[in-house]
Amino acid sequence: MNRWLTPCTTAGGSCSCRSCPPTPRVLSTRRGRCRGSMCWSVSFAWRPPMTTETQMSHRLGSFEMARFVVDGFLEYGDLVPDDLNAQVHRDALAYPKNRGYNPNKPNEFWDYSDAVREVFELPTVRDVVESLVGPEAIHDHSFLHTVAPGRREAQRWHVDSSLALDHPRQFDILVCYFPHDAPAEMGPTLVLPGSHVRRVSYHDVTRYKNFRGQRQLTGPGGRIAFIHESLWHCAQPNQTDQWRFMFKIRYLPRVAQRGLFNADGLDQAEIEAFFNDSNRRYPWAGDQFVAMGQAWRSWWRYLVEAA
């Protein structure tokens, strides 16, 4: 899928464009008010992914992809070498802590740290990204999220997308990288597995506090989570005396998001059994678990190019 930038006719006014950035190089997936005369909308032109057999052999397997369909995220703790994690952590400690997000400079820490750019050039990381959004994905924006020592306030639940255009088949991914150990008391991101197939807008979920089945992204340094843009998530309080860092980068696809993973040895019966077992995994879903199962299966047929 190619996304072509064209001038938005509502610059400076109320805009429903899916992408409405302040400069042509920045993309935003939130609907909202145009922020100036440099406003752009997006049109779509699908093209098939061009992937070699060797490249496919290193992509996610079918069961990993099925887990992403059901949970809305995948996490790994062994993709980045320890010495590289340590260098990113040093860069984060040296970086000014009071910098808020500047839409005119959407990649400040990315430009500042050679080490963090090296992390996202690692084949182990690129293989997962390309399995989800394909080759040559657009690096939309990135930001170093910080939580100060002793901060007692949690972030509200939210999603980083507006209503998806073809939810959940057409999606961006958020890659959340913790360069240092992130125990629960440090407040790493809380996610709600399975919530990505519930069609909500950014503010619909802010009133909630806790859910049965919520999951915190705790783990050793170097942990990376690859997250569907519509997964509900929020930062947590930092009860330690150390700064907590999480670098997040967003990728937009340029190809149709199907047939991108390694389906060698695909056992459809095993995948169907996994979906059946997952039907009641989310107690928060109530009577919506049937609709969620239908959404998984429909999406899966699309991913394997059977629909």
Q: If pLDDT is split at 50, 70 and 90, which confidence band does 30 have? A: very low
Percent of the chain at pLDDT exceeding 70: 77
Mean pLDDT, the chain, integer:
80
Question: Phi, psi (5° rounding) for residue 90?
Answer: -65, -40
Residues 147-183: tens digit of each pLDDT? 999 998 888 888 887 554 455 678 999 999 999 999 9
42 — pLDDT class (breaks 50, 70, 90) = very low
Picking from 252, 276, 293, the residue at the C-terminal end of a domain is: 252
Mean pLDDT throughout 233-245? 94
What pTM was estimated for this model as a whole?
A: 0.80
Lowest mean pLDDT among 74-83, 203-212, 237-246: 203-212
Q: Is residue 302 part of a domain?
A: no
Tell me: do 197 and 69 sit in the same domain: yes
| CATH code of residue 101 | 2.60.120.620
Residues 35 and 58 occupy one common structural domain: no
Are both 20 and 75 inside the same structural domain?
no
Q: 27 with 112, same domain?
A: no
Domain count within the chain: 2
E strand or H helix at 191, and its extent? Answer: strand 190-191
DSSP string, 203-265: TTTTT----TT-EE--BSTTEEEEEETT--EE-----SSS-EEEEEEEEE-SS-SSS-SB-TT
